[in-house]
Amino acid sequence: MLDLKGIDYENVFVRYDIRMESKEKPETIAAKMLPKDAVLKKVAEDIVYMKHKDVVESVKVALKTMGPVDVIDKGLVKGMDIVGELYGRGIYYLPHIMLAAKAMENGVKECEKKMTTAHVTKGTAVMHVAEGDPHDIGKNIAATLLKSNGYSVVDMGRDVPVADVVAKVAEVKPCIVTGTALMTTTMSAFPKIAERLLEQGIELPFVCAGGAVNRVFVESYPLGVYADKAMQGAKLAEKAVDGWDYKKIRAHWDALMAGKE
């Protein structure tokens, strides 16, 4: 092997990830954002530090003095907000989010036991992977993130025929429907779904994503809204709940993705 000692790697490539690494600790950032109330603070901390077992006990304690909706909104959701902040700063990675979301789910379940009516979610997303496509990790991550952001998810799984997706959307009446595909030939199901939804008079944003999928393709058929990353799902769902149709979301897509709207 050639002697590699003479190589100054600074002249070959730059580790921008190390150069730009945040020096702040999660605890420092969390401290600035945690609720002041000690009981709610503990609930939020259990989310931030991914204590999916401890959170159940913390929620039980909180429910002794406040209602379940407050525990969710002022404790659990606050914790997820901090997790999102840490992810945005590159301090937390995907596994942190998944584990925090699991803690969130456990906490919400405990709160729901105290509710007389079902917990009202922000909206419902029908999710699927295109027919013929077995690649579903992106859909699974997006589903977890939507749930932890307060949305209900009807997960239809993978390799789902066009007719089944259309029937489910007609039945559930969600705020968005999502489709993911890794391959060029499976993503061709998306325009067919859009066409059949419109034939039935159903108009809603159809969020499409995946390896082979691109914005030009998705915007070539009605209803299509492109998503580049799983994290963008909640933002797009939020706009759909606010009454934005697919045309308005498309028109504001760049600003939405840049976090400017």
Partner 1 sequence: MAIKRFTKMEYKNADEMVFGDAKYPISYGFGQKIGAGHVVPEINFAPRPEAAKNPETLTREYVDYITKDIMERAVTIGLPAVQLENEHVWQMVNEPKKFEKPVIIGQTAMIEKYHDEYGIATSIRHTIADPRLCEFGMREGQDKTHNYPEKVIEAAEIAAENGASLLSIESMGGKEMSDYGIMNGDIRAWLFGIGYLGALDMEWLWPQLVDICKKNKVVAGGDTNCAGANTSMFMAGGYLDKDVARTFAAVTRCIASTRTLIALECGATGPDKDCGYEGPILKAISGRPSAQEGKNCTCAHNDLMGNLTAQVCDLWSNESVEYHPEFGGSSVQCWLGSIGAEAMLMNAAKQMKQDKVLRDLYMATDRYRSPEAFCIAYDNAYTIGETIVEYGKDRYLRAKMAGLKAAELIQASAEKGAMKLSKQEKDTLNVIIRDLTACPDDEDKFVALCLKEYKNVPGFNPKNYGL
List interacting residues with partner 1 (CB under 8 A): 1-2, 4, 7, 9, 12-13, 15-18, 21, 87, 90, 93-96, 98-99, 131-137, 140-141, 144, 157-159, 183-188, 212, 217
Q: How far apart are CA 244 and CA 135, in angstroms?
A: 30
CB of 175 to partner 1, least distance (A): 24
The alpha carbon of residue 34 and the mean position of all alpha carbons in its chain are separated, in whole angstroms, by 22
Report the distance separating Cα 237 and Cα 124, nearest Å.
Answer: 9
Tell me how far apart the alpha carbons of residues 205 and 234 are, in angstroms, rounded to a whole number.
13
Find the shortest distance in angstroms from Cβ 179 to partner 1. Answer: 13
DSSP string, 207-242: EEESTT--HHHHTTSTTEEE-SSGGGHHHHHHHHHT
- Rounded CA gap, 121 and 102, in Å? 17
* Minimum distance, C-beta of residue 124 to partner 1, in the bound complex (Å): 20
| Terminal-to-terminal C-alpha distance of the chain | 54
Output the smallest distance, CB 240 to partner 1, in A: 25
Other C-beta atoms within 10 Å of 216: how many? 8
Nearer Cβ to partner 1 (139/239)? 139
At 201, the amino acid letter reads G
Taking Cα atoms as reference points, which of 132, 214, 131, 215 lies closest to residue 165?
131
Q: What angle do CA 46, 51, 56 make, to 5 degrees?
A: 75
Decide whether 12 or 38 has the Cβ nearer to partner 1.
12
Taking the complex as a whole, the smallest distance from the CB of residue 89 to partner 1 amounts, in Å, to 9
Shorter beta-carbon distance to partner 1: residue 135 or 252: 135
Q: Within a 10 A sphere around the Cβ of 170, how many other Cβ atoms?
A: 13
CB of 108 to partner 1, least distance (A): 18
| Smaller CB separation from partner 1, 226 or 244 | 226
CB of 146 to partner 1, least distance (A): 15
| Closest among 34, 108, 99 to 70, alpha carbons compared | 108
Nearer to partner 1, 192 or 248 (CB): 192
**Residue 110 or 131 having the CB closest to partner 1:** 131
Identity of the residue, 39 or 162, whose beta carbon is nearer to partner 1 in the bound complex: 162
